[in-house]
Amino acid sequence: MRTVIKTENISKQYRLGTIGTGNLYSDLTRWWYRVRGKEDPFLVIGETNDQTVKGNSEYVWALQKINFDVQEGDLVGLIGKNGSGKSTLLKLLSKITAPTTGVIKLRGRVASMLEVGTGFHPELTGRENVFLNGTIMGMTKKEVEKKFDQIVEFAGVARYIETPIKRYSSGMSVRLAFSVAAHLDPEILLVDEVLAVGDAEFQQKCLGKMSDVSKEGRTIIFVSHNLGSIRRLCNRGLVLSKGNLVFDGEVNLAVDKYLESLPSHDDSGHNLVSFDLDESKHFQFTRISVEDQNNQSKGTFYYGERIRVRLGYIIREDCRNFSVRMSLARNGETIFWTFDTDEDEVLFARRAKGDYLANIELPDFLKAGIYTISISFIEMGFEKEEHIDVIRFVLDDSTIDTTTKSYHLDRPGHIRGKVDWVYTEHPVEV
């Protein structure tokens, strides 16, 4: 096994705020320190990147001292909360921006799918765009020619290939774009959340294509919030938290590690997350907690207990076409989504300003596992203020006495179907 990626102490610093005269001053200061052969005064490594806490410096470390090796043929899942540095790491690996300190060594051609359809030009036809996009990603014209039919077939847009991209549906252009990227044949493929788009059938096709690619001995680094696909696809996981690499190992252990790191009950037993308020926002979440039938918030529930999510948010301006979404995932795999406007068209049409507190009763078909909740607002069809895996709780089934029943804890399936078996005919004796 050859090492194809090696990172040595890479860190990435960003400056907060806008670029203006203040920058010129620090640029000059840096330059003056460098001229005198001294160390850059703004490159003090140490302060952690916690986005919720206002730091005392206007410089933040998006990544700090990241070290890892990737072997040929590895399928690495990159896991972490929003802002943990996943995208920054991919940007560094794909040479889009340089690290502030440290070295990255790569073997072979790298192709990145940080956003599909990069360089798609709306006026050009599908065919012209396939060539343009393919060469942007590093193929030669000849290679694109050789793969052209495969690309078009995989995307399923053969009929539209001479039509300008601007006439494509969004699904079609995404399929075409992914198809180009999937046929790149790079030694190292970096994929960022591309599977969030497209229909379920195409997502399955993409996942299949990615595992085919890896079987050919190529390396993939895959970022996704869908821990289920990470578990299925990857053999190794890297967990990032606040810019630090906190875990590097087998993928299931990595997912577990990530789930454990999510906010849960604190020492006092409460399971409650509060958000900082920002008066300038038209709407925002204020709190979320997971509670039992006695309105007691907690982190571990046992079978038979009622589980209720209490979600608070504030609307500062009247909103139209507005919904609140909550999704529930079990061990990283999404179980269901629910919108507060699923049954209520009046609330969907108009929502007056004020403080809201929603009580969401979770159904009783949940199996044991680690559950995480993601929340977001949807305004005019667009996702706003998404909090992925904002809170977690554990559902424990160890209280069930299984000694005399056929019940087995490790049964396959995502939900516990509590189904009545009713026999209408008595067995005939033979």
Q: Which residues bind another protein (CB under 8 A)?
A: 2-3, 6, 14-15, 19, 23-24, 91-110, 112, 114-115, 118-119, 121, 123-124, 128, 131-132, 135-141, 164
Rank residues 43 and 207 by Cβ distance to another protein and give the closer one. 43
Rank residues 128 and 397 by Cβ distance to another protein and give the closer one. 128
Q: Is residue 240 within 8 Å of residue 89, measured between CB atoms?
A: yes
Rank residues 182 and 309 by Cβ distance to another protein and give the closer one. 182
Backbone angles phi, psi at 165, to 5 degrees: -60, -30
Q: Is residue 47 within 8 Å of residue 41, measured between CB atoms?
A: no
How near is the Cβ of 1 to another protein at its closest, in Å? 10
How near is the Cβ of 81 to another protein at its closest, in Å? 22
How near is the Cβ of 93 to another protein at its closest, in Å? 8
How near is the Cβ of 3 to another protein at its closest, in Å? 7
How near is the Cβ of 109 to another protein at its closest, in Å? 8
How near is the Cβ of 221 to another protein at its closest, in Å? 15
Rank residues 89 and 329 by Cβ distance to another protein and give the closer one. 89
Rank residues 82 and 97 by Cβ distance to another protein and give the closer one. 97
Q: How far apart are the C-alpha atoms of 183 and 174, rounded to whole Å?
A: 14
How near is the Cβ of 320 to another protein at its closest, in Å? 30
Per residue, the 3-state secondary structure of the chain, as one string, reads CCEEEEEEEEEEEEECCCCCHHHHHHHHHHHHHHHCCCCCCCCCCCCCCCCCCCCCCCEEEEEEEEEEEEECCCEEEEEECCCCCHHHHHHHHCCCCCCCEEEEEECCCEEEECCCCCCCCCCCEHHHHHHHHHHHCCCCHHHHHHHHHHHHHHHCCHHHCCCEHHHCCHHHHHHHHHHHHHCCCCCEEEEECHHHCCCHHHHHHHHHHHHHHHHCCCEEEEECCCHHHHHHHCCEEEEEECCEEEEEEEHHHHHHHHHHHCCCCCCCCCCEEECCCCCCCCEEEEEEEEECCCCCECCEEECCCCCEEEEEEEECCCEECEEEEEEEEECCEEEEEEECCCCCHHHHHEECCEEEEEEEECCCCECCEEEEEEEEEEECCEEEEEEEEEEEEEEECCCCCCCCCCCCCCCCCCECCCCCCCCCCCCCCC
Rank residues 94 and 372 by Cβ distance to another protein and give the closer one. 94
Q: How far apart are the C-alpha atoms of 4 and 200, rounded to whole Å?
A: 32
Closest CA to 362 of 336, 343, 400, 342: 336
Rank residues 113 and 314 by Cβ distance to another protein and give the closer one. 113
Q: Is residue 87 within 8 Å of residue 80, measured between CB atoms?
A: no
Beta-bridge partners for 240: 80, 245
Rank residues 104 and 400 by Cβ distance to another protein and give the closer one. 104
Rank residues 49 and 100 by Cβ distance to another protein and give the closer one. 100
Rank residues 98 and 196 by Cβ distance to another protein and give the closer one. 98
Residues contacting 53, CB < 8 A, separation 6+? none
304, amino acid identity: G
How near is the Cβ of 119 to another protein at its closest, in Å? 5
How near is the Cβ of 235 to another protein at its closest, in Å? 22
Rank residues 25 and 407 by Cβ distance to another protein and give the closer one. 25
